[in-house]
Amino acid sequence: MAKLVINETKKLGTVAPEIYGHFSEHLGRCIYEGLYVGENSDIPNVNGMRKDVVDALKEIQVPVLRWPGGCFADEYHWKDGIGEKSKRKKMVNTHWGGVTEDNSFGTHEYMELCKQLGCKTYVNGNLGSGTVQEMSEWVEYMTFDGESPMSNLRKENGSEKAWTVDYFGVGNENWGCGGNMTPEYYGNEYRRYQTYVRQYDDKKPIKKICCGANVDDYHWTEQVLKTCFDHAPEHLHGFMDLLSLHYYDMPFGWEPKVSATEFDEDVYYRTLKQAYRMEELVSRHSAIMDQYDPEKKIGMSVDEWGTWYKVEEGTNPGFLYQQNTVRDALVAGITLNIFNKHCDRVKLACIAQMINVLQSVILTDGEKMLRTPTYHVFHQYRHHQGAELLESSLSGTGSIGEGATCVPEITESVTEKDGVINITLCNLSMTDSKALDVQLAEDKDYEVVEAAVVGDCDPHNHNTFENPDLVVEKAFDGCKKVAGNKFTLNIPAASVVEIRLK
């Protein structure tokens, strides 16, 4: 019999709320149409931000939002996106569909969006094609409250008070679209650029994010850290707060891309296997980080993760618009369980992307909006934000399949917050439910205070604008108490279950 043993007396660290972060890029219909429709739109909006979307996002408690890219960030010149909108410079979005970017969503609009969402800010700077001066002035524009050229310009543009920049990315994917650099070259550039990311407010220091590796490029991690920390004068210590990692779940690598909604058993398990690979990637990059930072002062920021399939038929291939099924809900559940378990190192993560691009939590079509299965998992898992990770382990569970399709039957993570124990479980089997006993350590009389399931249906199921609530988070009544600290449950096939005990 499969068993989950929880030792609620052993707390292993705090799950940073920012692990539940999101990524929004000037790509396809993520910013324009998805988040921002402009003040004059017929779609209900507050200062240009879609009201329905913001309201839905508030329900999942978005902790942080990364912007403006992605590859777009390393071609973005922030001064084009400030001031009177009709006078803003237009540019070609060369990376994403070659469309005209009118810069109507810029720094002020991003800050307004984060204010409405009540989330932290993560601005990604341009190291690939921008200058040190440009990056430095952007930071001054956003965060300096005194008398200075950039601060005065911000005031002229209507924002008297400086904003808080919680995180600042010093370049994006500089091994690729951000300049095709070698790790040694980037490491030196990081040292230089970050120097001018000034801290204007001691009480709200900006956390600087260094560009980390793509997938399993351990050489990049090793060499960037070596370059940054070897021969570094004492004052350089503490100049890097996080190191990023980007990993997309592509069942067959870059090609061929698979459909978001039509897949057979083989592709289903391949996709979940790729999701589970996050465990190995986080562990191995973290082990390299341990050599330079044994005290784990530098966090890992998995600031791009999610599934990447074929675009939906009839849509612009450069817009990366894809549907989202129960299979994606499982990818989300598996990945977030891994992040929870690695909360000693993973301090931030952003699903790519928030709306209408790749593994989105929301899709829109004109004035219509729907929540994807992935959204519902983020809603279930919101209880983990800021909670304490508890020691927990599974026994008596095996794996399904072999080789490229071999996955664990179940994955789990357990946290505690405000006296409530949050258990999240993924049953990866496409066909079979799984019986599980749960045993807690303390001799207490626990009760199930809340239980919910996403899935428990055909894993191909997805929400459409005609049927937006086919896959939702449903109450789960399959968890039964056997004794004060013992429970038993049956986890439905292809489902993500959350049980809360008090």
The yes-or-no answer on residue 304 being catalytic is yes
Closest residue to ligand AHR, Cβ-based? 70
Q: Match 């978001």 to its residue by tokens.
A: 260
Quote the CA–CA distance of 23 and 31 in Å, as a whole number.
Answer: 10
Instruction: Select 107 or 172, whichever has its Cβ closest to ligand AHR.
Output: 172
Other beta carbons less than 10 A from residue 381's beta carbon: 26
Q: Cβ of residue 190: shortest distance to ligand AHR, in angstroms?
A: 17
Our measurement of the distance from residue 440's CA atom to the centroid of its chain's CA atoms, rounded to an integer in Å, reads 31
Q: Cβ of residue 94: shortest distance to ligand AHR, in angstroms?
A: 12
Q: Which of 101, 112, 173, 189 is catalytic?
A: 173
Instruction: Select 173 or 416, whichever has its Cβ closest to ligand AHR.
Output: 173
Instruction: Select 112 or 173, whichever has its Cβ closest to ligand AHR.
Output: 173
Q: Cβ of residue 124: shortest distance to ligand AHR, in angstroms?
A: 9
Q: Cβ of residue 27: shortest distance to ligand AHR, in angstroms?
A: 6
CA-closest candidate to residue 73, choices 98, 48, 96, 102:
96
Q: Cβ of residue 271: shortest distance to ligand AHR, in angstroms?
A: 17
Sign of CA dihedral 382, 385, 390, 391: positive
CA-closest candidate to residue 264, choices 431, 424, 403:
431
Instruction: Select 45 or 353, whichever has its Cβ closest to ligand AHR.
Output: 353
**Residues whose CB falls within 8 Å of the CB of residue 7, separated by 6 or more in sequence, listed in order:** 390, 391, 392, 441
The yes-or-no answer on residue 312 being catalytic is no
Instruction: Select 352 or 428, whichever has its Cβ closest to ligand AHR.
Output: 352
Instruction: Select 358 or 451, whichever has its Cβ closest to ligand AHR.
Output: 358
CA dihedral 258, 263, 269, 274 (to 10 degrees): 20
Q: Cβ of residue 246: shortest distance to ligand AHR, in angstroms?
A: 6
Q: Which of 304, 409, 412, 473 is catalytic?
A: 304
Quote the CA–CA distance of 67 and 111 in Å, as a whole number.
Answer: 10
Quote the CA–CA distance of 501 and 482 in Å, as a whole number.
Answer: 14
Number of residues that make up the chain: 502
For the record, the structure tokens of 418 come out as 């405000």
**Residues whose CB falls within 8 Å of the CB of residue 300, separated by 6 or more in sequence, listed in order:** 212, 242, 243, 244, 245, 282, 285, 286, 289, 342, 345, 346, 347, 348
Residues in touch with ligand AHR (CB under 6 A): 25, 69-71, 172-173, 304, 352-353, 358
Residues assigned a catalytic role: 173, 304
